[in-house]
């Protein structure tokens, strides 16, 4: 049976939650208090992910797509279960769009975006055909690399006098309103709500003792790393630039002026490529497992290819500009898709668990 270690799950979760968020500037609507909003989102997000884990354990280790038929029966539960692989494919398509829009303005400015998206997806498919163990081992290798890169970035930027912590003052100077607006729903649903996909990955963890600790640890590591990057970006760029720039992380990296280290774009590319690769892989693997269960297949491999091609098609047709891409992500998806799928439906499952177990007890 396919198995991954708790450390590999921890690495997968941390890199999945970092995602492309590290590039865009998480909770930028909170301005100079974005780091506070990110920290609050992390604490609530850790609680949400642990609720997913509780449901996973309370259902006897059933994967996400099996929760709904088990709770609500075949006729109601199966249509609800179908919503999740479709959403995961759509989320993967959004990652492909991130890559398509970001690469031409960073390192491949003369390369057609469709070639970038197709090539990147091809690498992901190749890795996924090797199974979740391959992706998990890659995550375990990449996680230290990412944090070495973060430490190098912070050291070089600090040495060049880039950070001006006066830009963070006054703390909560505009009140708590915009902080909470950044936390709910986007701050909580983006990244942390998406981690409901690990209700599939957890079933592949060989030793489940202490799984809650590793899961909470991965979430806190990723969340507070995002908060740290927000804090550094605001202190280096100032509130206005942080809010207005599409890629504040890249802009921050350009501020280093140490001899022989005057261009740190390579670090930003490492963030983008590694995190996008892991996040897209988890999206597509989760979709493939869901489709295998719902269709009754014996292997995820055909489903991986099917889900990947669907994601590529959706990515190429979903938006025509990066501005529209961001607008949909901030104003439409969190309220109309993520909240119902990541909060309302799992909440109903959580409330229905005692009733389902009581009914099962009567039958025995």
- Tell me the per-residue pLDDT of 140-183, one tens digit each, with 9 for 90 and over: 999 999 888 888 888 888 887 778 888 888 888 888 889 999 89
Residue showing tokens 């609500």: 72
Greater confidence (139 vs 244) lies with 139
Q: What is the pLDDT of residue 218?
A: 94
Q: What is the pLDDT of residue 202?
A: 94
Q: What is the pLDDT of residue 325?
A: 67
Q: Is the pTM of this model over 0.85?
A: yes
Question: Mean pLDDT across the stretch 13-31?
Answer: 83
Say if residue 239's pLDDT is above 90.
no
Question: Using the 8-state DSSP alphabet, how is residue 30 labeled?
Answer: G
Q: What is the pLDDT of residue 15?
A: 94
Half-sphere exposure (CA, 13 Å, Cβ side) for 252?
A: 32
Q: What is the pLDDT of residue 31?
A: 83
Strand partners of residue 261: 258
Say if residue 58's pLDDT is above 60.
yes
Say if residue 364's pLDDT is above 60.
no
Say if CB 290 and CB 146 are below 8 A apart.
no
CB atoms near residue 69 (< 10 Å): 19
Collapsing DSSP to helix, strand or coil, 205 comes out as: strand
Say if residue 260's pLDDT is above 70.
no
Domains and CATH numbers, the chain: 6-356 (1.10.4160.10)
Q: What is the pLDDT of residue 91?
A: 92
Q: What is the pLDDT of residue 87?
A: 94
What sections of 202-334 are H helices per DSSP? 211-237, 239-244, 248-253, 265-295, 301-318, 322-327, 333
Burial of 296 (C-beta count, 10 Å sphere; 0-12/13-18/19+) = exposed
Say if residue 4's pLDDT is above 70.
yes
Mean pLDDT check: name the lowest of 150-164, 254-268, 322-336. Answer: 254-268
Q: How confident is the model at residue 3 (pLDDT cuts 50, 70, 90)?
A: confident
Question: Mean pLDDT across the stretch 59-84?
Answer: 90
């Amino acid at each position: 049976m396919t198995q991954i270690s708790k450390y590999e799950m921890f690495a997968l979760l941390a890199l999945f939650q970092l995602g492309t968020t590290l590039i865009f500037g998480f909770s930028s609507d909170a301005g100079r208090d974005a780091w506070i909003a990110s920290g609050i989102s992390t604490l609530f997000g850790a609680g949400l992910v642990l609720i997913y884990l509780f449901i996973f354990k309370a259902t006897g280790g059933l994967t996400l797509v099996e929760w709904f038929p088990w709770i609500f029966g075949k006729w109601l539960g199966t249509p609800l279960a179908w919503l999740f692989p479709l959403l995961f494919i759509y989320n993967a398509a959004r990652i492909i769009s991130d890559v398509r829009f970001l690469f031409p303005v960073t390192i491949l400015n003369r390369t057609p975006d469709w070639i970038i998206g197709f090539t990147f997806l091809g690498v992901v498919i190749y890795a996924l055909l090797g199974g979740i163990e391959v992706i998990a081992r890659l995550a375990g290798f990449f996680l230290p690399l990412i944090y070495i890169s973060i430490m190098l970035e912070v050291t070089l930027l600090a040495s060049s006098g880039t950070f001006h912590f006066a830009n963070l003052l006054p703390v909560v100077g505009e009140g708590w309103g915009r902080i909470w607006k950044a936390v709910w729903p986007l701050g909580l649903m983006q990244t942390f709500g998406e981690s409901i996909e690990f209700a599939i990955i957890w079933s592949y963890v060989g030793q489940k003792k202490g799984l809650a600790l590793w899961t909470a640890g991965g979430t806190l590591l990723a969340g507070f790393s995002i908060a740290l990057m927000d804090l550094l970006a605001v202190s280096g760029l100032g509130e206005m630039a942080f809010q207005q720039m599409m890629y504040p992380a890249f802009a921050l990296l350009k501020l280093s002026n140490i001899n022989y280290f005057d261009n740190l774009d390579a670090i930003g590319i490492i963030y983008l490529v590694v995190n996008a690769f892991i996040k897209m892989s988890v999206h597509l693997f989760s979709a493939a497992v869901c489709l295998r269960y719902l269709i009754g297949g014996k292997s995820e491999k055909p489903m991986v290819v099917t889900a990947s091609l669907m994601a590529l098609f959706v990515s190429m047709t979903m938006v025509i500009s990066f501005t529209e891409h961001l607008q949909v992500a901030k104003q439409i998806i969190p309220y109309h898709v993520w909240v119902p799928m990541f909060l309302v439906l799992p909440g109903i499952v959580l409330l229905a668990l005692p009733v389902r177990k009581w009914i099962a007890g009567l039958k025995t």
